[in-house]
């Protein structure tokens, strides 16, 4: 009974969210659009509205604040969007060798801080955050990240992702501290690329905060936590990857499988700006809120989709599979789709060079437990009995934690959904001046 409670709470949470938020979304895949037409509808030029006209946007703006109105993900098409998207592309357009070297340097620095103990219990997401804070700070400002900047970025990114997963409330003071720091840093000298001129100085700081010190740090840390946890629970895959660190083809297949099985987006939504007539004749009227469900799409058309199996990839063409970890090319795909897998390989190699990973924790797509894992240093003598004892302790602890966390997620999530609905951040922004 107790072990089933977290699932029951998740289901109840979904019902409360739908109830408070309004049952406005059209699920894709769903009764109107099946998995075969998923990409066709996602790629349609009229599937282009991002925030205006969806109650769901109030919730995302609440979670991503401050400055959600200049976050690239939520800007409507137009001049401001074009300038912001161009700026992001410029920051990321560095030679692959340079980005790999930068990532390797930051990963080594952070992992070396772990000391020399034989066994260490960590949360993988927390372990990864400082690495990506350092990488993206240096990518943006062209200088080494200070410990002060790193602490502010990690506090900001942790606060956003904790609230998004309903594991804690928002702390705007933590986020505002980073904004103030970025404004001061920008006042003392420019970053490596010019910032969008259509944004005010405060909005420029929010743009950097939202795209690089929130989205980039959060997404990379989550993606790595999934990858490392999957390795911890699939020792054969881990052994092969550790033994053949230069086999980039296999590493790519493992990363593909991790992103397929544990896509970072649960749902991405679009608001239709015109009628869409789907190939099978179904009409989706203007103003429909389309909810593209990544986990369902990634499960459709694969044999035993729930199994983590990198060996399904040899001989399979990514473009022909139901696999869109970075969105669809025709509709605002992720600007980091080139650098993300490359840098994940670098960090995975650095972790596996030092540690063997073990974990018996629950591995779900939303990963609210942040990836509990035992790191066993490769250069230390193997102590299987001690390791088994620590793992047994972790198993008992994680089970209780899952239970309490799911109950607190229910309460905190309900509060935030109601609070976001009350604040109406997106709706107010799009209201005509006089109506605000």
Q: Does 284 bind ligand HEM (CB under 6 A)?
A: no
CA angle 86, 336, 101 (to 5 degrees): 110
Closest CB 218 distance from ligand HEM, rounded Å = 9
Residue of the chain from 157, 264, 271, 425 that contacts ligand HEM (CB under 6 A): 264
Q: Does 39 bind ligand HEM (CB under 6 A)?
A: no
Q: Which lies closer to ligand HEM via its Cβ, residue 62 or residue 323?
A: 323
Q: Which stretch binds ligand HEM (CB under 6 A): 108-116, 263-271, 311-319, 385-393?
A: 263-271
DSSP state of 284: E
Residue of the chain from 57, 88, 162, 234 that contacts ligand HEM (CB under 6 A): 88
Q: Which lies closer to ligand HEM via its Cβ, residue 52 or residue 387?
A: 52
Question: Alpha carbon of 331 to those of 141, 296, 324: distances in Å?
Answer: 29, 19, 12
Q: Tell me the C-alpha distance between 422 and 415, whole Å.
A: 11
Q: Closest by alpha carbon to 112, among 370, 387, 343, 355?
A: 355
Q: Which lies closer to ligand HEM via its Cβ, residue 152 or residue 217?
A: 217
Residue of the chain from 51, 68, 214, 215 that contacts ligand HEM (CB under 6 A): 215
Q: Which lies closer to ligand HEM via its Cβ, residue 365 or residue 424?
A: 365
Q: Does 267 bind ligand HEM (CB under 6 A)?
A: no
Q: Which stretch binds ligand HEM (CB under 6 A): 196-204, 312-320, 330-338, 349-357?
A: 330-338
Site string for ligand HEM, 335-354 (x = CB under 6 A): xx---x--------------
Closest CB 385 distance from ligand HEM, rounded Å = 37
Closest CB 19 distance from ligand HEM, rounded Å = 24
Tell me phi and psi for residue 41, to 5 degrees: -75, -40
Q: Does 67 bind ligand HEM (CB under 6 A)?
A: no
What is the residue-wise DSSP string for 346-376?
A: HHHHHHHHHEEEE--S---TT-TT--EEEEE
Q: Which stretch binds ligand HEM (CB under 6 A): 105-113, 260-268, 345-353, 424-432?
A: 260-268
Would you state the structure tokens that stand for residue 314, as one six-digit string?
């040899």
How many residues are recorded in the chain? Answer: 436
Q: Tell me the C-alpha distance between 309 and 375, whole Å.
A: 23
Would you state the structure tokens that stand for residue 19, as one six-digit string?
């109830």
For 273-295, letters b (16+ CB in 10 Å) and e give beebebeeeeebeeebbbbbbbb
Which residues within the stretch 218-237 sit at the binding site for ligand HEM (CB under 6 A)?
Answer: 219-220, 223
Closest CB 59 distance from ligand HEM, rounded Å = 15
Closest CB 308 distance from ligand HEM, rounded Å = 16
Residue of the chain from 334, 360, 391, 403 that contacts ligand HEM (CB under 6 A): 334
Residue of the chain from 66, 325, 371, 413 that contacts ligand HEM (CB under 6 A): 325
Q: Does 273 bind ligand HEM (CB under 6 A)?
A: no
Q: Which stretch binds ligand HEM (CB under 6 A): 7-15, 28-36, 189-197, 333-341?
A: 333-341
Q: Which lies closer to ligand HEM via its Cβ, residue 348 or residue 374?
A: 348
Q: Which lies closer to ligand HEM via its Cβ, residue 139 or residue 237?
A: 139
For 1-36, letters b (16+ CB in 10 Å) and e give eeeeebeebeeebeeebeebbeebbbebbeebbebe
CB count in 10 Å sphere of residue 131: 26
146: left (phi over 0), alpha (psi -120 to 50) or beta: beta
CB count in 10 Å sphere of residue 253: 19
Would you state the structure tokens that stand for residue 126, as one six-digit string?
């927390």
Contact 358, 391 (CB under 8 A): yes
Q: Which residues bind ligand HEM (CB under 6 A)?
A: 72-73, 85, 88, 92, 211-212, 215-216, 219-220, 223, 259, 264-265, 268, 325-327, 332-336, 340
């Amino acid at each position: 009974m107790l072990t089933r409670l977290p699932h029951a709470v998740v289901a109840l949470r979904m019902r409360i969210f739908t109830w408070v938020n309004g049952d406005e979304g059209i699920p894709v895949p769903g009764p109107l659009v099946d998995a075969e037409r998923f990409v066709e509808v996602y790629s349609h030029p009229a599937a282009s509205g991002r925030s205006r006209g969806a109650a769901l946007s109030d919730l995302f703006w609440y979670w991503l604040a401050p400055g959600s109105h200049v976050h690239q993900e939520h800007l409507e098409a137009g001049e401001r969007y074009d300038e912001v998207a161009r700026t992001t592309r410029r920051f990321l357009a560095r030679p692959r060798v340079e980005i790999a070297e930068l990532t390797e340097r930051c990963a080594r620095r952070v992992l070396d801080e772990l000391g020399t103990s034989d066994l260490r219990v960590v949360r993988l997401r927390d372990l990864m955050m400082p690495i990506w804070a350092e990488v993206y700070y240096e990518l943006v400002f062209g200088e080494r990240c200070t410990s002060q900047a790193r602490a502010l970025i990690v506090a900001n990114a942790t606060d956003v992702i904790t609230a998004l997963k309903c594991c804690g409330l928002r702390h705007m003071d933590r986020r505002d501290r980073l904004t103030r720091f970025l404004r001061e840093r920008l006042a003392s000298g420019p970053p490596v690329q010019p910032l969008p001129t259509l944004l005010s100085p405060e909005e420029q700081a929010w743009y950097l905060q939202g795209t690089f010190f929130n989205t980039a740090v959060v997404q990379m840390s989550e993606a790595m936590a999934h990858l490392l946890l999957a390795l911890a629970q699939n020792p054969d895959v881990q052994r092969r990857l550790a033994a053949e660190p230069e086999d980039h083809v296999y590493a790519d297949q493992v990363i593909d499988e991790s992103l397929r099985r544990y896509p970072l987006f649960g749902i991405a939504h679009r608001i239709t700006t015109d009628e869409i007539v789907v190939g099978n004749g179904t009409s989706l009227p203007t103003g429909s809120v389309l909810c593209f469900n990544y986990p369902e799409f990634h499960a459709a058309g694969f044999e035993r989709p729930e199994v983590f199996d990198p060996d399904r990839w040899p001989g399979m063409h990514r473009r022909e599979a139901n696999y869109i970890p970075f969105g669809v090319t025709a509709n605002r795909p992720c600007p980091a789709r080139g650098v993300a897998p490359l840098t994940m390989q670098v960090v995975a190699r650095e972790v596996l060079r030092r540690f063997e990973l073990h974990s018996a924790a629950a591995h779900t797509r939303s990963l609210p437990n942040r990836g509990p894992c035992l790191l066993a240093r490769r250069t230390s003598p193997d102590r299987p009995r001690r390791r088994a004892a620590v793992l047994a302790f972790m198993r008992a602890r994680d089970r209780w934690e899952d239970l309490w966390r799911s109950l607190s997620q229910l309460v905190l999530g309900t509060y935030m959904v109601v609070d976001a609905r009350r604040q109406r951040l997106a709706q107010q922004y799009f209201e005509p001046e006089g109506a605000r």
